[in-house]
Amino acid sequence: MTDSVLALEKVGVRFGGLKAVDSISMNVRRGERRGVIGPNGAGKTTLFNAITGLRPPTTGRVLFEGRDVTRMRPHLRAHRGMSRTFQITNLFQSLSIAENMQLALEGLSPRRFSMLGSRRLRGEEADRIDAALRLSRLDERPGVLVKELSYGEQRQLELAMSLVSRPALLLLDEPAAGLSAAERSVVAEIIGSLSRELTVMLIEHDMDLVLNLVDRVTCLNNGELLVEAPPADIRSNQLVQDVYLGKARRHAAG
Ligand SMILES: Nc1ncnc2c1ncn2[C@@H]1O[C@H](COP(=O)(O)OP(=O)(O)OP(=O)(O)O)[C@@H](O)[C@H]1O
Ligand SMILES: [Mg+2]
């Protein structure tokens, strides 16, 4: 079994003249928690889109569990064990928690499975949904409509939906964005409690949150990989301070 779940080889994504992701190479080990940081527009989401296939790279290669998936369509990567959440909430507001979970599961199941329609399958699906909701602390009231949930609970539901396929690699794009401090700590606890069989990549602007959760941090700037280091070295890194913390402080100061 290979130790590397994800390998990027000089991955580039170009939008016209803009190199949104510029020749990024990295390796993510099985079970690793990897933080991806960098200022707005650094290329973090575009990198996730290249990994998951939403926006395939214009140059370079993406290897998932040793297999070249650079040109593989997103749903096939999902079948192979990639899952993600989006920066913006992406839920069916007038459906219940359980219904959103079913849709998430349906989207990942081969069609022939749903055609079987057997009791056993429905039971297995229910178990999966229940397990993912329990991990995300939403198992108490599956019948509640999404529009009745707090924003924090909606983000928890997105986590649950990304877990229901039992992925090998989970990519979380700012899962705590827009949340209160209390809601952020719930999301952080959920991520921290995930099995180490799962490999997690986490884009997050909240430094305290990301540095406490991950084994290693990749800092992007202008589409380039600026620094890769353990969390303990990130705060004191001059390059990171210059491009990221410096800007974050200026934002905070208004
Ligand atoms: N579909 C697109 N077409 C053209 N340019 C794009 C597109 N998507 C992203 N970009 C540009 O690519 C660059 C990287 O954007 P990206 O969304 O990856 O940044 P990010 O690091 O996720 O930023 P943020 O922290 O604000 O989410 C930006 O300059 C952005 O404007
Ligand atoms: Mg982004």
Return all residues near 55 (Cβ < 8 A) that are at least 6 apart.
13, 46, 49
Q: How confident is the model at residue 249 (pLDDT cuts 50, 70, 90)?
A: low
Q: What is the pLDDT of residue 228?
A: 97
Q: Hey, where are the domains in the chain?
A: 1-81+172-185+199-254, 89-166
Q: What is the pLDDT of residue 33?
A: 98
**Average pLDDT value for the chain:** 89
pTM of the model: 0.91
Instruction: Decide if pLDDT at 111 tops 90.
Output: no
Q: Of the given ranges (47-51, 118-122, 225-229), which has the lowest mean pLDDT?
A: 118-122
What is the C-alpha to C-alpha distance for residues 86 and 125, in angstroms, rounded to an integer?
Answer: 23
Q: How confident is the model at residue 2 (pLDDT cuts 50, 70, 90)?
A: low
Average pLDDT, stretch 211-224? Answer: 97
Q: What is the pLDDT of residue 248?
A: 53
pLDDT digits (tens, 9 = 90+) for 151-178: 999 999 999 999 999 999 999 999 999 9
- Ranges assigned E (strand) in the chain: 4-15, 18-29, 33-37, 59-64, 67-68, 82-85, 169-173, 199-203, 216-221, 224-229
Among candidate residues 99, 107, 31, the one with its CA nearest the CA of residue 76: 107
Q: What is the pLDDT of residue 114?
A: 43
Ligand 1 site, CB within 6 A: 15, 18, 20, 38, 40-46, 87
Neighbours of ion ligand 2 (CB under 5 A): 44-45, 87
Ligand 1, atom 16, residue with closest C-alpha: 43
Instruction: Decide if pLDDT at 117 tops 50.
Output: no
Ligand 1, atom 27, residue with closest C-alpha: 40
CATH 3.20.20.70 fits 1-81+172-185+199-254, yes or no: no
Q: How confident is the model at residue 112 (pLDDT cuts 50, 70, 90)?
A: very low
What is the C-alpha to C-alpha distance for residues 124 and 139, in angstroms, rounded to an integer?
Answer: 16
